[in-house]
């Protein structure tokens, strides 16, 4: 290779790097859609709006939330899976992302091939609450109340495929309870139904429940975690309340369509991790009951694999029928 040819190739390579760098630096140059596959007011919606606000401030570009509830989150998740992989459509998902491939017949999406993990922003325990008029003041009393009145009580949850729904089914199976599970399109509607005493019992994620418990609109009986939540420190764990083996949590993960450029994935990861470390974000998450994780894409991928396997085993062991 002549010196002239080498110089030409080096110049061309430099131009390519400059072009790639300028394209990367331009992201985002127009508004970014953040899809939440549940109704407004639930934990995933809360997390998405918190992140959208911080990303909008960081990039001086609008990150806006759209809620697309239905089919246990499948509608919104499939919208993202089919979106152009250019970084302008982002999914904030709950644990239905890792549950639905086992819960739904036909596997609505592939959690490994249809998306790129960005980060597990946070996770929250679920909480068992009742309307204040319910006589039970503890988990054991609630079990006794339902057992003594078969078919009378209904239990609200955030929707088919959510961990609150599975937590409710596990609770019924563990104690052989005859109660009707009522799925809603998100934690917000489920909690409002219990506040209105239409469904006197509710399993939900901590973030939307904590303010209602503190306000006296709900009575929390237990959290489904191995330790108490800082959001409701006086509420016992299920194990402390005499119901062992009932642990579950709801993740809050950020993903993008498969094929999204690696530079954009890594950029989003860095900025979300920075946002989760901000004092006001940490304070907000602690108040709501989110445990901050903010890991790498690779670490989140491992979490996804482990969670898919865990819920698949639970669905099988608890003999929960697949949804056709």
Spatial CA neighbour of 208 closest among 153, 279, 158, 280: 158
* 25 belongs to a structural domain: no
Are residues 256 and 288 located together in one domain of the fold?
yes
Domain boundary among the residues 182, 207, 223 is at 223
Q: Per-residue pLDDT tens, the chain, 324 aa: give them.
A: 555 554 445 444 444 444 444 444 589 999 999 999 988 988 899 999 999 999 999 999 999 999 999 888 999 999 999 999 999 999 999 999 999 999 998 888 999 999 999 999 999 889 999 999 999 999 999 999 999 999 999 999 988 878 898 899 889 989 999 999 999 988 889 999 999 999 999 999 898 899 999 999 999 999 998 889 988 999 999 999 999 989 888 899 999 999 999 999 999 999 999 999 999 999 989 888 888 999 999 999 999 999 999 889 888 887 888 887
Are residues 71 and 93 located together in one domain of the fold?
yes
CA distance 195 to 1: 78
* 241 belongs to a structural domain: no
Are residues 308 and 283 located together in one domain of the fold?
yes
Are residues 111 and 259 located together in one domain of the fold?
yes
Are residues 200 and 271 located together in one domain of the fold?
no
CATH number of the domain to which 35 belongs: 3.40.190.150
CA distance 271 to 75: 27
3-state secondary structure (DSSP) of residue 197:
coil
Are residues 94 and 171 located together in one domain of the fold?
no
Are residues 69 and 47 located together in one domain of the fold?
yes
* 233 belongs to a structural domain: no
* Residues 6 or more apart in contact with residue 298 via CB below 8 angstroms: none
Are residues 96 and 135 located together in one domain of the fold?
no
CA distance 25 to 78: 29
Are residues 108 and 133 located together in one domain of the fold?
no
- The number of domains in the chain is 2
Domain boundary among the residues 223, 240, 273 is at 223
| String of DSSP letters for 33-85 | EEEESS-TTSHHHHHHHHHHHHHHHHHTS-EEEEE---GGGHHHHHHHHTS-S
Domain boundary among the residues 223, 240, 268 is at 223
CATH number of the domain to which 136 belongs: 3.40.190.10
Residue 300: both structure tokens together: 């989140």
CA torsion, points 309, 321, 166, 192, in degrees to nearest 10? 140
* 272 belongs to a structural domain: yes
Residue range of the domain that includes 180: 128-223
E strand spans, 153-205: 154-157, 180-183, 201-205
* 5 belongs to a structural domain: no
| String of DSSP letters for 221-290 | EEESSSS--TTSTTSPBTTTTT-TT---EEEEEEEEETT--HHHHHHHHHHHHHHHTSHHHHHHHHHHTP
* 13 belongs to a structural domain: no
Looking at residue 230, its pLDDT comes to 86
- Is it true that the peptide bond before 28 is cis, omega within 30 degrees of 0? yes
3-state secondary structure (DSSP) of residue 119:
strand
Are residues 155 and 216 located together in one domain of the fold?
yes
Residue 102 per-residue DSSP state? H
* 80 belongs to a structural domain: yes
* Residues 6 or more apart in contact with residue 200 via CB below 8 angstroms: 130, 131, 133, 134, 153, 154, 194
pTM assigned to the model:
0.77
Half-sphere exposure of 202 (CA within 13 A, CB side): 35
CA distance 54 to 46: 13
Residue 107 per-residue DSSP state? -
* Residues 6 or more apart in contact with residue 92 via CB below 8 angstroms: 34, 35, 36, 44, 47, 48, 51, 121, 252, 253, 254
Are residues 216 and 134 located together in one domain of the fold?
yes
Are residues 178 and 216 located together in one domain of the fold?
yes
* 89 belongs to a structural domain: yes
């Amino acid at each position: 290779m002549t010196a002239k040819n080498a110089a030409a190739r080096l110049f061309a390579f430099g131009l390519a790097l400059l072009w790639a760098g300028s394209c990367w630096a331009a992201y985002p140059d127009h508004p970014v859609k953040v899809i939440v596959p549940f109704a407004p007011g639930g934990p995933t919606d809360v997390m998405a709006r918190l992140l959208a606000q911080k990303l909008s401030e960081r990039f001086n570009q609008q990150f806006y939330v759209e809620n697309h509830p239905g089919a246990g989150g499948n509608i919104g998740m499939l919208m993202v899976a089919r979106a152009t992989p250019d970084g302008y459509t982002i999914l904030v998902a709950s644990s239905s992302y890792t549950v639905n491939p086992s819960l739904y017949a036909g596997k609505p999406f592939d959690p490994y091939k249809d998306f790129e993990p960005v980060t597990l922003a946070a996770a929250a325990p679920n909480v068992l609450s009742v309307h204040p008029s319910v006589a039970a003041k503890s988990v054991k009393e609630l079990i006794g109340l339902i057992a003594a009145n078969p078919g009378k009580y209904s239990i609200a949850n955030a929707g088919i495929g959510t961990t609150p729904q599975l937590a409710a089914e596990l609770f019924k199976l563990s104690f052989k309870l005859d109660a009707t599970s009522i799925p809603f399109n998100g934690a917000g509607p489920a909690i409002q139904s219990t506040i209105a005493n239409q469904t006197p019992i509710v399993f939900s994620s901590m973030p939307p429940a904590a303010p209602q418990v503190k306000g006296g609109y709900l009575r929390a009986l237990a959290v489904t975690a191995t330790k108490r939540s800082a959001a409701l420190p006086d509420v016992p764990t299920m194990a402390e309340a005499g119901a062992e083996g009932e642990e579950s949590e709801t993740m809050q993960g950020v993903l993008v369509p498969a094929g999204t450029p690696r530079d954009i994935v890594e950029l989003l990861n860095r900025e979300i991790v920075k946002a989760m470390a901000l004092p006001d974000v940490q304070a907000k998450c602690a108040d709501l009951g989110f445990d901050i994780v903010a890991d790498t894409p690779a670490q989140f991928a491992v979490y996804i694999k482990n969670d898919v396997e865990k819920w698949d085993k639970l669905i099988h062991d608890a003999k929960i029928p697949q949804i056709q």
